Structure 1
Amino acid sequence: MNTRSMRLALAGTAALALAMTPALAGAAPGNPGEPRFQEGDPGAGDPYFPLAGNGGIDVLHYDLDLTYQLPEPEPAPLEGQLDGVATIELRATQDLHRFNLDLRGLTATKVVVNGKSMRFDQVDNELRISPRPKLKTGDEATVEVTYGGATTRPTDIEGALYGWVTTRDGAMVVSEPDGSATWFPVSDHPTDKATYAYEITVPEGSVAVANGLLEGSETADGQTTWTWDAPDPMAAYLATATVGDFELDSYVAENGTPIIDAVDPALPDSASANLALTSDMLVFFEGSFGPYPFNSYGAIVDDDSVGYALETQTRSFFSRRAGESTVAHELAHQWMGNHVSPGRWADIWLNEGWASYASWMWSEEQGRASAQDSFEDVMSIPADDDFWDVVVADPGPLCLFCGAIYDRGAATLHALRVEVGDDAFFELAKTWVEQYGGGSATTADFSALAEEVSGQDLDAFFQMWLYDAEKPTDW
């Protein structure tokens, strides 16, 4: 309850005293002990990104109907136009008179809740919706938001491009950590996973590539609508609706997974040659992490100059070239980071450390450098190097993608493997995926599970590897 509402609700010192009594704080007038309807928090509570995600709601499904107009040819400004209708299925997790969705840089023009137009406003990153009737805990609601605006090239907290990044031939859509709000209204935190469906309308000749399986495309009046279905729970930052000049290649991997690759034909064949290893990698990683968790996989290899790679769920994104190690890294993320997502952004080493370690394992499988070799390379970094100053389990929002998150994270996992033995280590990996798959988990969850599986006290081990800002020397 905000201060202004409290002043309107309370009159006189007797009422003020009653409101300050802990047992009755927030009680509805005439109904002692019953909570008032509240405003959902504007964020999910992540200290790194306080406004990412939303309190009071659990989003179940997004149906995104997008229409995108590409930029005009040079020398026109690099600016597109995105118009959308987002139909969102959600459940209230508290009694709500208002709740938020994240939306940044685009303007909502209409909001409908359960078939009725509703009051709303936008403040900074937040679209604030006042449903009538109010939502009670457990109520499910269908929220339809009509919105749109010009698209440019948004940047994250570090100044790197992310979100709906306008390109001359379309859009590169890669949103880690909180860039999904630049292209649809969303609860933009990995603890609020949902399923997705897309209808993306673009000029005829352009291809729109999203997560999951392609259900079809239809062209009329110079426009093509691409329909994709992503029925597996997904964190918002892993969603994509990339638009460009792509050729689609579909096949079935050895393990039975449908593969859809989208490659820009302007690139040389060498840019996407390593995608041919995907089938073998799927089989190899299933041996370590358990069954592949999603309905499909594939890659997007785009002709841009950003130098970006991201594990967009079921359809990893690569800028210009998909190197073998990076192909392995992004595929391993489908288990580690996508199926099991970070409970807080401070836990990102669980994404990047596991994916980096998986690429070490793949190298060894191919008869090249072993995991032990790669571990020794990391440990050869001098103790006074800034590399060791990063607290891996709490790197801060400006160091989510520092090298130590990847390499010290991977080294932590190798050291753990040596500490507990191969049997316990790979049992841990599979149990981690089984227990937390489809949701999110924290470093504390991982540490506790490692102790449970191994039967060892690992407090000192994890303190040295994940929390001490110095080079581990004895564990």
Structure 2
Amino acid sequence: MPLNPTPTPTPARPRSRRVTAALLASAVSVCLIAASAPDPAVPLGVGDRLFPTLGNPGYDVESYDLDFTYSGSNDKPLKAVTTIDALTTAPLDRVNLDFAHGTVRSVEVNGVPADFAKAGDDLVVTPAESLPAGSPLRITVRHTSDPVSAKGQDGGWVRTKDGLAMADQADAAHLVFPCNDHPSDKAMFTIHVTAPDVYTVVANGLREDTHRARGATTWTYRTEHPMATELTQVSIGRSAVLRRQGPHGLPVRDVIPSADRAALEPWLRKTPGQIAWMESKVGRYPFETYGLLMAQAQTGFELETQTLSLFEKELFTEPAYPKWYVESIMVHELSHQWFGDSVTPSTWSDVWLNEGHATWYEALYAEEKANKPMEKRMKAAYRLSDSWRASGGPPAEPKGPKPGHKISIFRPNVYDGAALALYALRQEIGRPAFERLERTWVGVNRDGVASTADFVDLADAVAARDLTGFFKAWLYDKKTPPMPGHPDWKSDAPKARKRA
């Protein structure tokens, strides 16, 4: 998710984003202690270092069924029903869901009405009977989903000129629907949206059905691969859907404002070639479809929502952005489909695995297609790296978000700072081993979650040597280590603040 810069004639890089057994066991024990007492309901989490109350222990979600009814007004809450199918991983007297921005009408657990209460950003559900470990769990929540931003809200529904879209990274899907809102708990999704006939609806995955009745259409989409909640996308708008074919017959569909078809088509026709380029680097595209959603909205960023990446339309219409730059940002979001979507981070501290790789392939594409040398970009990043580490933390141990601004974890240290670590790795183990590592990483972890430790272990195996010291320095140290092959590179130390 690169954040968009203010347009300049020569823009700089935009400053834009399995829980371990011990961590999960610890979180589950907290859940059990809390559940043993009837009151009060308390918010829980899986212990994420950056978002402590995000996610919920004691169950594993297998699928979500989301049903939204849109009236045609962005100022009114949508009627919604969320059905969650899960499996309990521990005995539970209560089930916590993340949900922070809507009114709950009723809750059922396995078809039986259940009590519920609000606790922080959690919806705490008390079923009529306790749930043993290993039991099927179906939770049905009837609620509203409000597109009007609450105070301090950072993400969720995005109100566009002609409807709605979603931007749920990093901690915002639960502003839209009740869920286990942590990337470590991926699930299948079915999404139904009913809207007036003048609107077109597109969501993650492939369209399964449309049904028209009494001036409204219900659209149904289904994913063929598991997805993290933060990657959910629903577009409702007066849109045109342009279809084309990608490599191996891959269906590509782009969602754009109907009036802008002619202006945007030259950009959109580049996507199949970009997919083929990425496949040449890391292997087969991992999902059932792809496409761009060009929103008439000011978001300040682009976002890799699974199978349908979100872009500001202005990125493609602002003349200050050079052509090569726009294409590289398209590749950034496309590469996330492998790095971040198919292979999802275990915790938000592992976000460098997403953004570092997306930045890497963005830069590599610019090098190969627009003669923008990777080495020049990496040397510039090296010069700034100590300052980035001081302000944002090292790549694999980023500092927490600023209060009330959750996407502020997306700092330069997890973009170009992390890409710099990948460049150092390629320098250290050589290009053939590095490229083999990249292909193996997305292959063995496809449709799963993986951590920084998993990446280090795989790199050790591929390189056939212990790289522990290398990764410790590049991913966790406060100071940037020397660049292999470039001992002359220097990093500017951050200036000390003068005392008043």
Contact 2:145 2:177 (C-alpha < 8 Å) held by counterparts: no
| Aligned match of 2:18 | none
Q: Deviations over 1:335-380 (max 9, x none)?
A: 1001111111111111000001011121233152133332223234
Compare 341-350 and 41-50 and name the one that shifted more. 41-50
| Aligned match of 2:57 | 55
Structure 1 residues 38-187: aligned runs within 5 Å: 42-71=44-73, 79-148=75-144, 150-154=146-150, 161-187=154-180
Structure 1 residues 316-331: aligned runs within 5 Å: 316-320=309-313, 321-322=315-316, 323-331=326-334
Helix, strand or coil at the partner of 1:141: strand
Gaps of 5+ in 2: 1-28, 317-325, 402-407, 485-500
Helix, strand or coil at the partner of 1:144: strand
Q: Deviations over 1:32-91 (max 9, x none)?
A: xxx9975897212212112211100100001111102233xxxxxx62321111111100
Given the superposition, is the C-alpha separation of residues 198 and 144 from structure 1 closer, same or farther in structure 2, using an over 3 Å criterion? Answer: same
Structure 1 residues 278-293: aligned runs within 5 Å: 278-293=271-286
Measured in 1, the distance between the counterparts of 2:80 and 2:380 equals 48
Aligned residue among 308, 326, 330 for 1:315: 308
Measured in 2, the distance between the counterparts of 1:234 and 1:243 equals 20
**Deviation of the 1:395 alpha carbon:** 1.1
| Aligned match of 1:454 | 463
**Deviation of the 1:211 alpha carbon:** 0.2
Compare 140-149 and 177-186 and name the one that shifted more. 140-149
Measured in 1, the distance between the counterparts of 2:60 and 2:389 equals 38
Helix, strand or coil at the partner of 1:216: strand
**Counterpart residue type for residue 418 of structure 1:** Q
Compare 166-175 and 199-208 and name the one that shifted more. 166-175
Given the superposition, is the C-alpha separation of residues 149 and 316 from structure 1 closer, same or farther in structure 2, using an over 3 Å criterion? Answer: closer
Q: Deviations over 1:424-454 (max 9, x none)?
A: 1121112211222222111122112111110
| Aligned match of 1:195 | 188
| Aligned match of 1:4 | none
Given the superposition, is the C-alpha separation of residues 253 and 474 from structure 1 closer, same or farther in structure 2, using an over 3 Å criterion? Answer: closer
Q: Deviations over 1:7-27 (max 9, x none)?
A: xxxxxxxxxxxxxxxxxxx9x
Aligned residue among 334, 349, 352 for 2:337: 334
Measured in 2, the distance between the counterparts of 1:371 and 1:190 equals 31
Measured in 1, the distance between the counterparts of 2:270 and 2:389 equals 32
Task: Report % sequence identity.
Answer: 35
Contact 1:53 1:187 (C-alpha < 8 Å) held by counterparts: yes
Given the superposition, is the C-alpha separation of residues 386 and 393 from structure 1 closer, same or farther in structure 2, using an over 3 Å criterion? Answer: closer
Measured in 1, the distance between the counterparts of 2:411 and 2:163 equals 29
The RMSD of aligned alpha carbons is 2.4
Given the superposition, is the C-alpha separation of residues 266 and 50 from structure 1 closer, same or farther in structure 2, using an over 3 Å criterion? Answer: farther
Measured in 2, the distance between the counterparts of 1:167 and 1:369 equals 34
Q: Deviations over 1:126-178 (max 9, x none)?
A: 1111223322111112211111154312577xx7x411133452222110011
Contact 2:456 2:467 (C-alpha < 8 Å) held by counterparts: yes
Q: Deviations over 1:393-428 (max 9, x none)?
A: 111222521122110111111111121112211211
Compare 371-380 and 245-254 and name the one that shifted more. 371-380
| Aligned match of 2:291 | 298
**Counterpart residue type for residue 376 of structure 1:** K
**Deviation of the 1:460 alpha carbon:** 2.6
Measured in 2, the distance between the counterparts of 1:305 and 1:352 equals 21
Gaps of 5+ in 1: 1-25, 27-34, 72-77
Normalised by the size of structure 2, how large is the TM-score?
Answer: 0.81
Q: Deviations over 1:201-260 (max 9, x none)?
A: 112211222100122333322222111111210000000112222100122212321111
Given the superposition, is the C-alpha separation of residues 467 and 328 from structure 1 closer, same or farther in structure 2, using an over 3 Å criterion? Answer: same
| Aligned match of 1:261 | 254
Higher strand share: 1
**Counterpart residue type for residue 473 of structure 1:** P
Compare 36-45 and 89-98 and name the one that shifted more. 36-45
Q: Which of the pair has the greater relative contact order for Cα pairs under 8 Å at 6+ separation?
A: 2
Contact 1:267 1:303 (C-alpha < 8 Å) held by counterparts: no
**Deviation of the 1:284 alpha carbon:** 1.8
Measured in 2, the distance between the counterparts of 1:388 and 1:375 equals 18
| Aligned match of 1:432 | 441
